[in-house]
Structure 1
Amino acid sequence: MTLSDKELEIVKILEKDARTPMEVLAKMVELPVEETERLVKKLEEAKVIVQYTALVDWRKADGHEGVTAMIDVKVTPKRGVGFDEVAERIYRFPEVKSVYLMSGAYDLSVVIEGRSMAEVAHFVSEKLSTLDSVISTTTHFILKKYKHDGIVFEQGDQDRRIVVSP
């Protein structure tokens, strides 16, 4: 689907802040509210806008921190379907948050979330590595999130002014 300039502008605004009120969005793209609503509905129906989500800093919710791991996976592609079939089998697991086809030493990058490192280890050893096409895995645990999807976590309220002294 080729997007018009206005549609592209709408998508970029909503990608930054999906809670932008329709009236504000219409003013930003210089269109009537009804036309803006029509374009947003068209983008949703075409699955250009797939879903509206909230970005949560789970470290600030006591008892819900969890563990996030990025797993590099080397697989044997299957004739006729390539990597798609194994990627689909992997993304169907509820622990899996993202799956990407990658260039480089590994074929797939899988992001999973669990309540503990032991839960992630269980997923890798009992579910992921037992799949027929999986040759090897390398697991990386995320220790701290600084920036995600363009949003900076913990910028702090430090005074960044230059100190002037006599």
Structure 2
Amino acid sequence: MKLTQKEMEIVEILEKDARLTTEDVAKMVCLSVEETEQAIKKLEDHKVIVRYISLIDWGKVEENTGVKAMIDVKVTPKRGVGFDEIAERIYRFKEVTSVYLMSGAYDLSVIIEGKSMNEVASFVSQKLSTLDSVLSTTTHFILKKYKHDGIIFEPDNKDKRIVVSP
């Protein structure tokens, strides 16, 4: 879908902060509230705007005991459907939060969430590795998130006072 300049501005604004009111977005793009509402509805109807989400720093939540892992997957593409069929089989698992087609040594990058490292290991060994097209996997556990979707989670809070010495 080809976007107008105003639609592109709206998408970029909402991607940075989806909590802005329609009135605020309208002012930022110099449109009326009605025109802005129509543009946003069109973007939602065409699935350009897929969903509005909150970005949570789970590292600050003590009760959060979950684990995230990135899994590099090498697969055999199938004639006529390429990587799409195996990607769809993988993203249908409830543990999977994201699947990307990649260039380089591995074909797919899969991000999953589990309650423990053992749960992630079980997913890889019992569900992912057993799929016909999967040739190999490499699992990377996410230990700490520093930046996600352009948001820095722990900004530099170092002491910025000037050192004074005699």
TM-score by length of 2: 0.95
Secondary structure of the residue aligned to 1:160 is coil
Cα distance in 1 between the residues matched to 2:65 and 2:18: 24
| Cα separation, partners in 2 of 1:27 and 1:159, compared to 1, 3 Å | farther
AA partner of residue 66 (structure 2):
G
Cα distance in 2 between the residues matched to 1:10 and 1:42: 11
Question: Is this contact kept in 2: 1:58–1:65, CA < 8 A?
Answer: no
Question: Matched residues, percent identical?
Answer: 72
What's 2:90 paired with? 90
Q: Deviations over 1:131-159 (max 9, x none)?
A: 00000000001111000011110115444
Secondary structure of the residue aligned to 1:94 is coil
TM-score by length of 1: 0.95
Instruction: Give the RMSD, CA atoms, in angstroms.
Output: 1.3
Cα distance in 1 between the residues matched to 2:163 and 2:32: 50
Cα distance in 2 between the residues matched to 1:138 and 1:43: 37
Matches within 5 A, 1:4-43: 4-43=4-43
Matches within 5 A, 1:129-144: 129-144=129-144
Cα distance in 2 between the residues matched to 1:145 and 1:27: 34
Aligned residues: 165
In the alignment, is residue 114 of structure 1 matched against residue 114 of structure 2?
yes
Runs of 4+ aligned residues of structure 1 deviating over 6 Å after TM superposition are none
Cα distance in 2 between the residues matched to 1:160 and 1:43: 44
Q: State the shift of 1:65 in Å.
A: 3.5
Cα distance in 2 between the residues matched to 1:33 and 1:123: 48
What's 1:99 paired with? 99
Question: Is this contact kept in 2: 1:26–1:36, CA < 8 A?
Answer: yes
Return 5+ residue gaps in structure 2 as ranges. Answer: none
Return 5+ residue gaps in structure 1 as ranges. Answer: none
What's 2:164 paired with? 165
AA partner of residue 132 (structure 2):
D
